[in-house]
Amino acid sequence: MNPKIKNICCIGAGFVGGPSMAVIASKCPNINVTVVDINHKRIEAWNDKNLANLPIYEPGLDELIKKCRGKNLFFKTNIEQAIFEADMIFLSVNTPTKETGVGAGQALDLRWVEASARQISKFSTGNTIVVEKSTLPVRTAETVKSILISNKDSKDKKSNPKSKSFSVLSNPEFLAEGTSINDLENPDRVLIGGDDSKAIEALENIYLNWVEPQKILKTNLWSSELSKLTANAFLAQRISSINSISAICESTGADISDVAEAVGMDTRIGNNFLKAGPGFGGSCFKKDILNLVYLSNYYGLEEVASYWEKILDINNWQQKRISEIIVHKLFGTLSNKCIGILGFAFKANTNDTRESPAINICRDLIEEGAKLKIYDPKVNNLQIDLDLKNACISSNVEYNNDSWLIENDLYKTANNSDALVVLTEWEEFANINWQEISYIMRSPSWLFDTRGITNKYIAKKNNINVWQVGV
């Protein structure tokens, strides 16, 4: 008989765990969903009465939290208790790239997955369905399974003498930040990998509360894990492709938005994900491609590895290229120049800065002696400080207290700046009043628009020099 799920636990209250559990709680009022995390501050923020203080900014998330929190959605730090009570446990912990040891720089660091699996095997009861939500290397489910099984009979289990069993499923999350609530509520597909038909049915039944059955795809574990890596690799590949063409446009007089439109109208290609920019950021693309490269090399497929590696090379090159253009246009030196940075998040509508192209571009400008004023509508000041300090330290770039200043307003950022650099496509930056801005910037003033969203004609009319990506 198909087990009826009454209590869900999600380990990891981050950008994946938080929104995906909020949507499950909202669509399944009869299921209790408890999200746990080792980070007490994060859990406190999820429980903050003021919804503006939630730890992640995501359009629509605050309404879901308001609707479900305290009713069937709970954020807690008592991980053992939540595991004990759960029929189904989602693993949404972080899986960054390994920094040291075997596979450093490419393979994923699974220490948090492993720690969670150990806790599950120790504190769970009865039959527990463990669902991998984090992006994981192919064949991780096997590792998780073996940890669960090897620990369950150990003496350790004194705390919980009842017999227990596990089913492991892979259910990769395809949400994109900034649109994650819509992506979760109206997914293109839901992928469930596994070999235990009862467990698959239990998870499928949860999604059937709001997803059409034909959108639920069932595969074996490894196809599911590899599909997630492949989807991200294909998406990243499109961005490197369009960014490489943006450089050709700038040299030849073609316009990248015309080229993208013409190419995207071919229904075989499609018109999404063809926006040239400063390179892709976010927690997934780089990490997943590195993981694919590692996997390919592991299986002796060097050609495949170097093919995917090139996507990352173009991404790094695009960021470097933009920094160099800025230096070149500002007469080859940035010392004593003030540059206003508009946007620090890796994309609009999120406060996430992981792998944001803004980090490397700002670091390069600091290295050239620029003083930066940085404004992002949603990113926390401390996060910007932390990212820039880390970037400078790891590249041996000298910085001091004057290297950057964080502003809370567009006009303060533009005031007395020699240049403005748009790095995130926040809507606010598409609607800048260039006339007002031209009065407060230093002359000659420059606008570097790496996202192609500003009105360059009006900016130019107001005596601002403009460089736009791919034009």
- Give the Cβ contact number of residue 462 at 10 Å: 17
By beta carbon distance, the residue nearest ligand ADP is 14
Binding mask 226-265 for ligand ADP (x = CB under 6 A): ----------------------------------------
232 binds, among ligand UDX, ligand ADP, none (CB under 5 to 8 A by kind): ligand UDX
By beta-carbon proximity to ligand UDX, the closer residue of 152 and 354 is 354
The CA angle 73-74-80, to the nearest 5 degrees, is 130
Taking CB under 6 A as the criterion, the residue among 15, 285, 375, 429 binding ligand ADP is 15
Coil, helix or strand at residue 167: strand
Q: Does 137 bind ligand ADP (CB under 6 A)?
A: no
Taking CB under 6 A as the criterion, the residue among 277, 340, 377, 452 binding ligand UDX is 277
Q: Does 178 bind ligand ADP (CB under 6 A)?
A: no
Binding mask 229-268 for ligand UDX (x = CB under 6 A): ---x--x---x-----------------------------
Q: Please tell me the distance from the alpha carbon of residue 238 to that of residue 241, in angstroms, as a whole number.
A: 5
Nearest distance from C-beta of residue 162 to ligand ADP, angstroms: 22
Tell me the backbone φ, ψ of residue 345, rounded to 5 degrees: -65, 160
β-pair type (126-132, 88-91): parallel
Q: Does 361 bind ligand UDX (CB under 6 A)?
A: no
237 binds, among ligand ADP, ligand UDX, none (CB under 5 to 8 A by kind): none
In the structure encoding, which two tokens stand for residue 218, read together? 């069932």
42 binds, among ligand UDX, ligand ADP, none (CB under 5 to 8 A by kind): ligand ADP
Binding mask 279-308 for ligand ADP (x = CB under 6 A): ----x-------------------------
Q: Does 177 bind ligand UDX (CB under 6 A)?
A: yes
Nearest to 349 by CA among 378, 387, 383, 381: 378
Q: Does 144 bind ligand ADP (CB under 6 A)?
A: no
> Residue 307: which H helix or E strand, with range?
helix 302-329
Q: Does 12 bind ligand ADP (CB under 6 A)?
A: yes
Class of residue 33 by CB neighbours under 10 A (exposed 0-12, middle 13-18, buried 19+): buried
By beta-carbon proximity to ligand ADP, the closer residue of 12 and 377 is 12
Give alpha helix (H) positions in 215-339: 221-252, 256-264, 285-298, 302-329
* Region of residue 103 (phi > 0: left; psi between -120 and 50: alpha; otherwise: beta): left
Tell me the backbone φ, ψ of residue 340, rounded to 5 degrees: -90, 125
By beta-carbon proximity to ligand UDX, the closer residue of 120 and 178 is 178
Nearest to 425 by CA among 312, 344, 310: 344
Choosing from 28, 249, 284, 338, the catalytic residue is 284
Taking CB under 6 A as the criterion, the residue among 33, 35, 42, 171 binding ligand ADP is 42
With beta carbons less than 8 A apart as the criterion, state whether 365 and 323 touch.
Answer: yes
Q: Say which DSSP state 120 is in.
A: H
With beta carbons less than 8 A apart as the criterion, state whether 419 and 445 touch.
Answer: yes
Which of positions 75-134 make contact with ligand ADP (CB under 6 A)? 79, 92-94, 112, 115-116, 134
Nearest distance from C-beta of residue 77 to ligand ADP, angstroms: 9
